[in-house]
Amino acid sequence: MSKKSRDLPRRSCLSVPGSSERFLQKGPTINADMTFLDLEDSVAPLEKVDARAKVVDAIRNLDWGDRVMCVRVNAWDTKWTYGDVIEVVGNSGDRLDEIMMPKVERAADVIAMDLLLTQIEKNSGLEVGHIGIEAQIETAQGLINVEEICAASKRLETIVFGPADFAASMEMPVLTGGVQISEYPGDHFHYVFSKILMAGRANGLQVIDGPYLKIKELDNLRDYCNRTRTLGYDGKWALHPDQVTVINEIYSPTQEQFDKAWAIIDAYKEATETDRKGAVMFGDEMIDEASRKMAIKFISRGERAGLKRSS
Ligand code: GLV
Ligand code: MG
């Protein structure tokens, strides 16, 4: 696991096609918390091999600031995975934080990647464990095995839902993945969101929602972000700079929430350490250890979003 990237924010996770020099050049100018250079589905099969060198060049020579830097490689059921990993991890240097694995179906998929990464790290002068793993759950089999997948390796940093491939895998009668289906009475992905979230949290991972494909529909994106944000997700993919702005806002606490969280921490500390009480009144509500745990999450998220406590 790369300690540096494990705790960095991933409110917005920007997808950049690895075969496009134009998009690669533009990537660093977009204010996303995490950026992944893609070798998988946004790259045509005939461009896949050439895209590897473009991605390595972009990681080494562009200034990506302090964002989490990731490359999505092709899935194990293709012919490209080992070549992607050896070329990209072997040549990118330590600015590369992690590899994203699409269509993960079982713990063994992650374990195989972990073993391959260890050998490449040893041969290329990287600290063993430097490269983290993001695992995408986007097939029926992957969802069934999500609990063992989340526990498969110390390198895992996030678990990510892939709504488009998942809709295809489930044979849902939709032609656009990751958007609302008005005919369905509720959220057709509610079970999926919750199952992935529980498995991720049980293993200390960040949990990320995938793309919203209707790029121009920013109000609907906002609505959709609020669903997973309310459940507890850390962030969502972005396919366009306008999406990044909406996503960064929704996955950050407000100043009011941030200040209240700090006030709860202070009141709870006073109660437990000075007054030796485990539960006390805070305004009109009772707070206890569970309140402290909730408050800590708001504070760490707020700090990651650059908030400072109001004076
Ligand atoms: C992302 O990879 C998706 O399939 O939604
Ligand atoms: Mg996918």
Q: Are residues 161 and 41 in the same domain?
A: yes
122 alpha carbon – ligand 1 mean position (Å): 32
pTM: 0.92
- Of the pLDDT bands very low, low, confident and very high (cuts 50, 70, 90), residue 4 is low
Residue 97: pLDDT over 60? yes
Give the DSSP H or E segment for 172: none
Q: Are residues 174 and 299 in the same domain?
A: no
Q: Please report the atom of ligand 1 found closest to the CA of residue 102.
A: 2
Q: Supply the DSSP symbol for 155.
A: T
Q: Which domain holds residue 38?
A: 12-250
Range 111-114 contact pairs with CB under 8 angstroms and sequence separation of 24 or more: 111/152, 111/153, 112/76, 113/85, 113/153, 113/155, 114/152, 114/153, 114/155
Angle between helices 190-202 and 218-231 (to 10 degrees): 50
Q: Please report the atom of ligand 1 found closest to the CA of residue 164.
A: 5
The CATH number of the domain where 200 resides is what? 3.20.20.60
The predicted model gives 97-121 an average pLDDT of 98
Q: Which pLDDT value is given to residue 186?
A: 84
Residue 130: pLDDT over 90? yes
Q: Are residues 136 and 267 in the same domain?
A: no
Q: Over the stretch 187-246, which tens digit does the pLDDT of each residue have?
A: 889 999 999 999 999 999 999 999 999 999 999 999 999 999 999 999 999 999 999 999
The answer to whether position 5 is within a domain reads: no
Ligand 1 shell residues, CB under 6 Å: 136, 138, 162-165, 177-178, 210-211
Q: Please report the atom of ligand 1 found closest to the CA of residue 138.
A: 4
User: Near ion ligand 2, which residues have CB within 5 Å?
Assistant: 138, 162, 165
Q: Are residues 259 and 232 in the same domain?
A: no
Q: Are residues 287 and 204 in the same domain?
A: no
- Of the pLDDT bands very low, low, confident and very high (cuts 50, 70, 90), residue 178 is confident
Q: Are residues 171 and 261 in the same domain?
A: no
Residue 264: pLDDT over 80? yes
Q: Are residues 193 and 269 in the same domain?
A: no
71 alpha carbon – ligand 2 mean position (Å): 14
Ligand 1, atom 1, residue with closest C-alpha: 162
Q: Which pLDDT value is given to residue 173?
A: 86
For the CA of 177, the nearest ligand: 1
- Strand pairing of 280-282 and 285-287? antiparallel
Q: Which pLDDT value is given to residue 3?
A: 64
The predicted model gives 126-155 an average pLDDT of 98
